[in-house]
Structure formats: structure tokens, C-alpha cells
Chains A and B, each alone.
Chain A
Amino acid sequence: MIVTPAGRWTGRIWLTLGLVFLYLPIAALVVFSFTDSPVPNVWAGFSLRWYAKLVGDEEIRSGLFLSLKIAAATATAAVVLGTLAAFTLERFPRFKGRALFSGMVSAPLVMPEVIVGLSLLLMLVSVQRLFGFPERGMVTIWLGHLLVGLAYATVVVSARLRDLNPQFEEAAQDLGARPLQVFLLVTLPMMAQSMMAAWLLTFTLSLDDVVMSAFLSGPGSTTLPLVIFSRARLGLDPTVNALATVVIFVVALFVVGASYLIAARERRLHRQQRSAAETSTRA
């Protein structure tokens, strides 16, 4: 295909402007977390005072701790259920109620959170009236986050399952492995990296959620996003910028590190598969 120089330059400019648009707020958050001004969009010299304030902020600290606990629990449960759901969708082409199942799995991806949050809360209230539990708090927030997390985890894992070469599983089966052995020794290792990616994604989603948490939280269970949201509503607060900078650096470190590990693993797996294929053709 012929690409004109004009077309190439349009492409470069478009991509650059798009990335600037995506990264501008992130840059602003980081830059103004170091400002010496009480307004976080005015530069008044370098200072770390907002970081010092952040360290001493009890509300943020307890919110962060709660959010981390919920996020870890959400991600773990979402990966387990999501892997089962992905397996169901990719490996069992027909069973009763499949259409309903696939609809229910993907609906929370796009369903407005106010609807999901409201409906889950109303159900939990009904259950609580009948049985006296659960109290609104950590567990109910976890249930809500899990609903959304499950949908994302399923998408990530089933994309991987779809690309998986079924020949490896068939070969294992032909060599006499039982279904469970096939799953544990062949399928699971090949899915592991997508499960890791799903864990990280659902973890960050849970760590970021406002609406579900607002519906499902009770007294004393204020997650970090709820703290940030209530401050952001009131106005600009440089402590929030300092917090954002910390979050951005931790996440970037994690994501870059994880994708590096995943890529390295992928290459190794690929090499092993290729050498196995070569050995088998020679034999």
C-alpha cells in the first residue's frame, strides 16, 4: 500500500495529540503535587509540604487500608469466578441458558453503576430484613465490586482461552491425561498470565470505584475513592495531588514490571512450545 508523506504526518500528529490529551491531566497532577501554593494549579516553587500533609492524613490512611483490603479480596474472587465463567463461555458451546449466562456476564461491563449499585443494595437490604445480616460495610462493598470485576476478569481470561491452541490439550488427552490433569498441567499454566492481568485489572478497578462503594458502604467503611470524591467535590486540594502522584507511580511501576515479566514468560513458553514441536516432527 502506498502511504503519502502527508498521510504519514497526519498520522504522527494525530497520535501525538491523542496521547497528549490522555496524559495531560496525569502530568498536571504530578507537577502540581510539588507546588508550594495552596491551590494545585498554580506553581509557586518546589515543596514537599503536601506529601508531609498526606502522611499525617488519618482519613486517607484508613480509607487506603480499607480499599486495599477490598481490592485484594475482589481481585482474587473475580479471577476465580471469572476463569470459571470464561471456561464456560469458551469450552461449552451449548448448555441450557447459555444466552442468559453470556448476557449476565458482559452486562456489568457497560451497565451504569448507579443501577447496579442501587439494585444490589436493595437486595441486600431485603436479605438483611429476613436474616439480620449482612451489615452494610466491607463485605457488601466487596460483593458489588466483585460483580463488575467478574465481568472484566471474564473478558480478559476468555480472550486468552480463545487464542489458546487446543492441540496442546488434545495432545495431553491423547497421552492419557485425565480432564483434571489436562486442566492443571496444560491449560492453567497457559492461562496463568491472563489470570494475572485480570487480577491486576480488577484490583485497580476496585481501588477506584466511587458509585458502588457509595451505595454499599455503611458507617465507618469509607473507602479511599469516597474520601477523594468528597474532597474533589468541595474544590481543589493539593493533598489529593500528592496522593495521586503516589498512586500513579506505584501503578506504573506495577504495570510496567508485570508486563515485562509476562512478556518474558511468554517468550519462554513460546520457545518451549516450538522446541517441543520440532522434537515431535523429528521423531
Chain B
Amino acid sequence: MAAPAPWTPRLPLWVRVFAWLGGQWAFRSERRAARLLQGFACTEEQSQLELRQAARDCPDERRRARYLRHALDETRHAHAFSEHARGLARAAGAAGFAPPSAGCERLYERLGELRFLAFVHVGEQRGRAEFETYARLLRKRGAGATAQLFEDLIADERQHEAYTAQLLNELAGADGARRAVRWVRRWQAWREFRRRGRRLARTLYNVTMLFVYVTLAPFALTLRLFGKPQRGFSREF
């Protein structure tokens, strides 16, 4: 009897809709497109770092190798996005970009392998859908080269989607996989909420600091009038 197909989550409808709308706006100008692609390069770079950590910490060799191969794919993607972004920026006469940089949140360590896999799977599924949408959009606009960039990556994304779904089902069964994905979606929604909250807090902070800055004028003046400009060797330090 053939093994049942692994359970995979359904892609939310809004992903493609938002991608279409966002793409319309973002790809209107070369500069914006360049910045967008550079952003994608950074996302791939972070992805790569997270997967490397997973490869390092995972106890099972077969899965380690899988994560490592995935990480190498993400490195290639990051490079592809970055190169293309530079090309677009140069064509638009804008300043180029530094190599993509990213931080790492140690998600494998923090979420545990199951939820990490769910997270990656959901991310890859969403990424694949978005790339498909962008590719279609760009072909319509006649931006063949950029469309090709996305099309080349879709095959990889499909593979990543497939293996993560398979591993999820292997490790936790269909029920466990479903639970993990639900958890991840809730967690991401919470993070998004917190992110917006942070932005608000940051704005409040900046306003407060501006006010404080203005009140510092007398201190600054005192410093300017009475402070000694420092230059030359000093023996006290």
C-alpha cells in the first residue's frame, strides 16, 4: 500500500493577493525594485544562518545534511538577489548595496526542531507563492530578466517546501504537523503585533528625546564656551 501523502497546510489566500498588490507598487521603479531585491537577499541570508545553526545542533545526520543543503541554496539565492539588485541600482543610477547582512535569532534552538520545521515550511510555501506571483507580474510588464530571477528560484522553493513537509509528517505525524503549523501561525501573528507596537514605542521615544534635546541647549552652549578643544598628546589617560 502506498504511503499516504504528507499533510501540508493550505496557503492562505491573502498571501497571493498582498503579493500582487505589493508587487504592483514595488516594481514600478527600478530603484524600488532594487531595494526590494536587496531586502530579499537579506532575508535569504538570515534563512541561511538559521539553517546553519539547525545543521550544527541537530542530532540526526540525515536531517543535518538536509538543513545544510538548504542553507547552501539560500546562500545562492541571497547572492542572486544581491547581484540583480546591484544591477538594477546601477541601471537606475543609484548607489549600490553592501553585501547582504542579517542577524540570526537562533530559531532552531528557541522553537525546537518540530516548530522550526513548521516555521520553515510555512515560510517556504509563502515565499514560493510570492515568487510565482511576482514572476507572473513581471512577465506581464516585460521585465524578463527579473522575472527569470524569480522563476529560477521557484524550483528550489518547491523542493524546500516538500522536504520540510515530509520531515514534519515523519517526526510528528499529520496531527503533530497540523498543531505545529497552527502554533507557528499564531506565533508569527503575535510577533507582527509586537513589531508594530515597537514601532509605536520607538516613535514616542524619538519625540521625547527630541524634546529633551532641545532642553540641552544651555549645556551645549556651556561646553562650547568653556570646554577645551582636545588635540595633541596627553599624559593623563
- Do the two shown chains form a genuine complex with each other? no
Interface residues of A (CB under 8 A from B): none
Interface residues of B (CB under 8 A from A): none
